[in-house]
Amino acid sequence: MKPENNVLAMPHILKHYDDELGQLHDSSVEMLKLILEQWELLMEAMDEANLESALEVIALNKEIRENESQIHQTILRLLAQENPVARDLRAVLSISKISGTMLYFTNETRKIGKLILTLYEPRSGVPNAQLVRDIVKISHGIRIALDKLVIVLNSQDSNNAYGLLKSSADCENAILEAIRHQLGFINQNPRQVGPGLTILQILNSLESCRNHCKNLAEYCIFMIDGHDIRHKDRLKTKTLD
């Protein structure tokens, strides 16, 4: 990333405008840190069958949603009062996309928290330990992605975002492999249909979270470097066809 492309680091004539942009950036970083905290609680709930942690995951969703609402209001005020253009407009619109995607992410995390409560309910039976290890391993990969995204937003350096995109396919393959394991296990153990279906739902939500991380990386790259890479692979495929 070239320093002159760093939108949020470039000063403006109006100091209050700089302050608004800086506040918007800081709010997005804080929201992402809250999501990382929520995800760590989720991993604890999965790995240790900790239902209290699962309840904390669900409760934290409200605070994160409130953060997104504040970011949205700040963006509306900037657009209405300051009329940003060029690089500033790119930054504001990118943060709008980033905060919206983080909202999708936290809602999906909340959904997983509820599924964990169902999974470890005594009447549901004991879930297969290997398959639980599978979802814990996948969730660890997503946690690493969230760590990288925090670094990207803090440093305004897109290198980690590009690295995240490269590792996203590995996470997708791990999820597909876990789904195959789960379907095979249910086929061999009909009494485990209940926990098995719950884990399949968790895996589906993990795939959504992986995709949200990928989208966040792409929005960060656009904000920092001005490169829209979201549909490049699709365009290449069409060209080959």
Q: Shortest CA distance to 156 belongs to which of 102, 91, 93? A: 91
Report the distance separating Cα 226 and Cα 93, nearest Å.
Answer: 12
pLDDT reported for residue 231: 66
Instruction: For residue range 59-99, list pLDDT tens digits in order.
Output: 999 999 999 999 999 999 888 887 777 788 888 899 999 99
Q: What is the pLDDT of residues 28-38, one digit of tens each?
A: 999 999 999 99
Q: How far apart are the first and last CA of the chain?
A: 33
Q: pLDDT by residue (tens digit) across 3-49?
A: 445 555 555 545 666 778 888 899 999 999 999 999 999 999 988 88
Fold type of domain 11-227? Methane Monooxygenase Hydroxylase; Chain G, domain 1 (1.20.58)
CA 117 to mean position of chain CA atoms: 21
- Sorted by sequence, the CB contacts under 8 Å of residue 162 that are 6+ apart come out as 217, 221
Confidence (pLDDT) at 193:
80
pLDDT at 11: 52
pLDDT at 235 > cutoff 50: no
Helix (H) or strand (E) holding 36: helix 15-48
- DSSP state, residue 82: T
Averaged confidence pLDDT in the chain = 85
At how many degrees (to 10) do helices 129-155 and 15-48 cross? 170
CA 88 to CA 92: how far, in whole Å? 6
> 189 falls in which pLDDT band (50, 70, 90)?
confident
- What percent of the residues of the chain are helix, what percent strand, and what percent coil, each to the nearest 5? 85, 0, 15
pLDDT reading at 130 higher than 80: no
Neighbours of 81 (CB within 10 A): 11
Using alpha carbons only, how large is the chain's radius of gyration in Å?
A: 20
pLDDT at 170: 86
Domain ranges of the chain: 11-227
HSE-CB at 162 with a 13 A cutoff on CA atoms is: 9
pLDDT greater at residue 9 or residue 121: 121
Residue 81 has a pLDDT of 82
Q: What is the pTM of this model?
A: 0.85
pLDDT at 6: 57
Specify the range with the lowest mean pLDDT, choosing from 12-16, 73-77, 112-116, 194-198: 12-16
For residue 206, which of 7, 13, 39 has the smallest C-alpha distance?
39
Least confident of 32-41, 101-110, 112-121, 189-198: 189-198
